[in-house]
């Protein structure tokens, strides 16, 4: 599976959009991009996934560049409850082998 | 629905002791997973069971055994615990067709002294 690179930490003001970048320059054609988050040592929570096209759901938007070498997770109106570690994962193993790196610690502040 | 449940929540073992971590899901999911998370690290896959009756090794299987008891339950056994196995253990499950979304339990915090 492709390796991902994320900044170790980011801050965001409450109510503003949080844009979390992820680099996955070695991604291959059949690999998906997944985003999960982990709030304060709880079990991780799925957010969104995509292959080529941009995706949006009730939690977030996922923007994947045309060459698929990087992506951005967007939380449109961050709240204090969005403070968490966000993991960008690239995997083609049919969803069985997700490799969680160290992620980005997002801190949402007043 | 309770989702994914794990027992116990906390456990302290002495080196060489054995124990079994229990995991159950009530979502009728086919696939189940065991991960460990060391302090300041991401999760690493220990074993998984793609469907009832099958198990496969993940990234860090050494020192562990698993049993897929039935569709609901997937247990993780430490035969001879070592301090290096001090970690938080998470169980997860997934619906077969929804390959992208794993549901995680609350974790078991294990300390081996």
What tens-digit pLDDT sequence spans chain A (110 residues)? 668 999 999 999 999 999 999 999 999 988 999 999 999 889 999 999 999 989 999 999 999 999 999 999 999 999 999 999 999 999 886 778 888 889 999 999 99
| A94 inside 8 A of chain B by CB | yes
Residues in A touching B104 (Cβ below 8 Å): 42-45
Q: Which of B102, B108, B109, B110 to mutate to test the interface with A (most CBs of A within 10 A)?
A: B102
pLDDT in tens, B45-68: 999 999 999 999 999 999 999 999
Token representation of residue B35: 């991960």
pLDDT at B88: 98
Question: How many Cβ contacts (< 8 angstroms) between chains A and B?
Answer: 57
| A21 inside 8 A of chain B by CB | no
Determine, for residues A44 and B59 on separate chains, whether the beta-carbon distance falls below 8 Å. Answer: no
pLDDT at A2: 65
The shortest CB-CB distance from A96 to any of B35, B50, B104 is to: B50
The percentage of residues in chain B with a pLDDT greater than 90, rounded to a whole number, is 88
Say whether pLDDT at B22 is over 80.
yes
pLDDT at A1: 65
pLDDT at B96: 82
Q: What is the 3-state secondary structure (H, E, C) of chain A?
A: CCCCECCCEEEEECCCCEEEEEECCCCCCCCEEEEEEECCCCCCEEEEEECCCCEECCCCEEEECCCCCEEEEEECCCCHHHCEEEEEEEECCCCCCCCCCCCEEEEEEC
């Amino acid at each position: 599976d492709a390796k991902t690179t994320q900044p170790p930490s980011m801050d965001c003001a409450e109510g503003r959009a949080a844009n979390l970048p992820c680099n996955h320059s070695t991604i291959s054609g059949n690999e998906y991009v997944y985003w999960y988050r982990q709030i304060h040592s709880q079990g991780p929570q799925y957010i969104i996934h995509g292959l080529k096209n941009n995706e949006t759901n009730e939690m977030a938007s996922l923007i994947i560049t045309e060459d698929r070498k990087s992506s951005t997770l967007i939380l449109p109106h961050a709240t204090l409850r969005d403070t968490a570690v966000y993991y960008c994962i690239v995997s083609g193993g049919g969803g069985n082998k997700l490799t969680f790196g160290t992620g980005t610690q997002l801190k949402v502040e007043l | 629905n309770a989702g994914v449940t794990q027992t116990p929540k906390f456990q302290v073992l002495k080196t060489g002791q054995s124990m079994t971590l229990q995991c159950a899901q009530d979502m009728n999911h086919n696939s189940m997973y065991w991960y460990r998370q060391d302090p300041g690290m991401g999760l690493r896959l220990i074993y998984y069971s793609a469907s009832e009756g099958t198990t496969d090794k993940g990234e860090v299987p050494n020192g562990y055994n698993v049993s897929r008891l039935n569709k609901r339950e997937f247990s993780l056994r430490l035969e001879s615990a070592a301090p290096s196995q001090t970690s938080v253990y998470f169980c997860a499950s997934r619906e077969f067709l929804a390959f992208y979304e794993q549901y995680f339990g609350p974790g078991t915090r294990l300390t081996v002294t």
